[in-house]
Amino acid sequence: MSDRTPRWALAEDGDGWWQAAPVPPAGAARADGPLLRVRDPAEAIRSAPPGTRWVWRSTAAVYPRLLAAGVRVERCHDIEDAELLLLGHEGRSGEPRSAAAAWARLHHAPVPPDPPQRAADPRAQDPLFDPQPAAPLPLDALLAVHADQAVRLGATEHPDRMRLLVAAESAAFLLAAEMHRAGLPWRADVHRALLTELLGERYGGGGEPRRLAELADRVSAAFGRRVRPDLPAEVVKAFAKDGIKLRSTRRWEIQELDHPAVEPLIEYKKLYRIYTAHGWSWLGDWVHAGRFRPEFVPGGTLTGRWVTNGGGALQIPKVIRRAVVADPGWRLVVADADQMEPRVLAAISRDPAFMEVAGRPEDLYTAVSRQGFSGDRDKAKIAVLGAVYGQTSGDGLKNLAALRRRFPRAVAYVDDAAKAGEEGRLVRTWLGRTCPPPAGSGEGYEAGDGGVDPGGGPDGIDAGAPQGREDGWTPGHASTNTRARGRFTRNFVVQGSAADWALLMLAALRQATAGMRAELVFFQHDEVLVHCPAEEAAAVVEAIRAAGDRAGRIAFGDTPVRFPFTTAVVECYADAK
DNA sequence: TAAATTGGCGCC
DNA sequence: AAAGGGCGCCAATTTA
């Protein structure tokens, strides 16, 4: 990837002043361009050419205040995120990733530990809020780290892919800040009505909801004595008294039981969950002025999926989505990538038959079902998911054999990833995000080339299988932990590569909507919500379709695999299903 | 008493 | 239908 975009660096100098300068060409010691020293970083942005890629310590630390000043940035290079990705690729996950730490490593100085993550503030509307507080790094030091990162990016297994990953995740941090600022439209009045409808009135206006109390009473009545349904130990004991032995009180364990407590107990669990996780107090904490503003963290999981801090934004119960309503005259475009993970598996495994199936203009599982599953879509779906998740028992295992016959390379790809994990090696996503070493593998992890490469390349990173590991791994004896590690790495390459694709898709969509009034307001693994004026909805739908295609081409090159969306234009999120 | 762990369940 | 992967959050319980 040749990047002719101008690059400027921006750094806080510690006195409340900011410095900005063009990034010198590789090899040059010092910028020959202007050196700006300003009070307001927005001023620096406005002084540089439009489209500049901004090199800074942390997007989350800088960008909110730029947005508050009315300044948007097209692209950036987030030093601390790049450091995280590079350390991972080098087999050094867990080493501090702050810019200061990167600088210290470069100069063989004592490496400061990363500052602890602060909990999200429900009222975080303050643009100066910094989720990653850290000592500022002077401009020259930042430039030195940036130059070092450029060299290390060039030394990765697939430099072009890795640069793509770094650029895309940097864009994702820009988007995350923009989505936080925009907020998800949220009707507190609708939410309140919904809660009352589901849970009943609260005793005394703020106490336990009536329906919850009634259900708890019914559970007690069914057992003939007082049993609190939210205490698993009490529930297990109560069932035992009635001659039913339970390993847990999980819903799937109890729902088939023949006992009068089961029905009210399951209903209680469902409503209790809503009450505690998305009830009245959640509403008071998280919804202000008609918006829910979670803090999105791109790449917050090991696989590269995003997480959110506070508000449980990625676990909003479907029933609560009734409260997500577009502004008057506006719409929500809800787009869900169809079978994202199997399509990604087709693209990364290069299995010809699976790619062909994933390129047909129809439901992927239906297409798979015609290849050795005699049209049984459910069986085909179970087999595919079982392969991706590493299912160890049940129907998935039976159907896996049929899948392996028809799509040997696709199944071999995930099997190889599982084997790598069991042998203590590292695996990577398509763009190069790398899984951490197994717990207990200690210091000095040998990072080499590799990961899973069924194309016949070098056979992965050689971990050297250190002795005395906590996971009990020894050659030839697959422990429970070893198998779990295999399931993790198996899933990692698919879930992670899907997250790679999603990053590129979001970056493309963000770019496409930059000239519109439309705003991305929510993202959840394979689903994106855009809030836009009704008259823009059709253009947004098309932009999403194009972004999916473009992401597929940029990530995986020219393959027959398609990445379609199911898209709905609605006023209320709950109507999208 | 505070921090860490557990059980359970919401989402993908 | 359940069980494989990834999370966050809550309440209760255990540990330090």
Q: Which nucleotide is nearest to A525 (CA to C1')?
A: B12
DSSP state for residue A560 in the 8-state scheme = S
- Residue A208's SS3 state is coil
**What pLDDT digit, counting tens, does each position of A403-433 carry?**
999 999 999 999 999 999 999 999 999 999 9
Between CA A527 and C1' B12 the distance (Å) reads: 9
Taking the alpha carbons of A28, A34, A35, A38 in that order, is the dihedral positive or negative? negative
| Residue A87 backbone dihedrals phi, psi, to 5 degrees | -55, -40
Q: Which nucleotide is nearest to A320 (CA to C1')?
A: B10
Between CA A359 and C1' C16 the distance (Å) reads: 56
Contacts of A113 (CB under 8 A, 6+ apart): A96, A101
Rounded average pLDDT over A127-147: 74
- Distance of alpha carbon A277 from alpha carbon A191, whole angstroms: 13
% of chain A at pLDDT higher than 90: 72
Which of A353-357, A460-464, A501-505, A523-527 has the least mean pLDDT? Answer: A460-464
Provide the edge-to-edge strand list for the sheet that holds A565-570. Answer: A519-523, A527-533, A330-337, A565-570
The set of strand C positions with any atom below 7 Å of a protein CB reads 1-13
Taking the alpha carbons of A20, A25, A30, A31 in that order, is the dihedral positive or negative? negative
Encoded tokens for A542: 């098309």
**What pLDDT digit, counting tens, does each position of A348-357 carry?**
999 999 999 9
pLDDT higher than 50, residue A166: yes
Between CA A316 and C1' B11 the distance (Å) reads: 7
Between CA A116 and C1' B3 the distance (Å) reads: 15
| Residue A322 backbone dihedrals phi, psi, to 5 degrees | -55, -25
Provide the edge-to-edge strand list for the sheet that holds A7-12. Answer: A36-38, A18-22, A7-12, A53-56, A75-78
Q: What is the pLDDT of residue A477?
A: 52
**What pLDDT digit, counting tens, does each position of A57-87 carry?**
999 999 999 999 999 999 999 999 999 999 9
Between CA A267 and C1' C11 the distance (Å) reads: 18
Rounded average pLDDT over A459-478: 38
Contacts of A308 (CB under 8 A, 6+ apart): A294, A295, A296, A297, A300, A314
Encoded tokens for A415: 């099997």
Kind and range of the H or E run holding A195: helix A188-199
Tally helices (H) and strands (E) across chain A: 20, 14
What does pTM read for this prediction? 0.92
Q: Where do the DSSP E strands lie in A264-423?
A: 287-288, 291-292, 295-297, 307-309, 330-337
Quote the crossing angle between the two packed helices A262-278 and A188-199, to the nearest 10°. 160
Within 10 Å of residue A344's Cβ, how many Cβ atoms?
Answer: 30
Between CA A290 and C1' B11 the distance (Å) reads: 22
Strand C: protein residues, Cβ closer than 7 A:
A 120, 230-231, 233, 252, 255-256, 276-277, 282, 300-303, 305, 307-312, 314-315, 378, 382, 385-386, 389-396, 484, 487-488, 491-492, 495, 525
- Distance of alpha carbon A175 from alpha carbon A326, whole angstroms: 20
Between CA A526 and C1' C4 the distance (Å) reads: 20
Kind and range of the H or E run holding A521: strand A519-523
| pLDDT category of residue A542 using cuts at 50, 70 and 90 | very high
Rounded average pLDDT over A109-134: 64
Q: Is the distance from CB of A560 to CB of A359 less than 8 angstroms?
A: yes
Q: Is the distance from CB of A26 to CB of A150 less than 8 angstroms?
A: yes
Kind and range of the H or E run holding A529: strand A527-533
Taking the alpha carbons of A49, A54, A55, A57 in that order, is the dihedral positive or negative? positive
- Closest residue (Cα, C1') to B10: A315
Kind and range of the H or E run holding A78: strand A75-78
- Residue A393's SS3 state is coil
**What pLDDT digit, counting tens, does each position of A221-245 carry?**
999 999 989 888 889 989 988 988 8
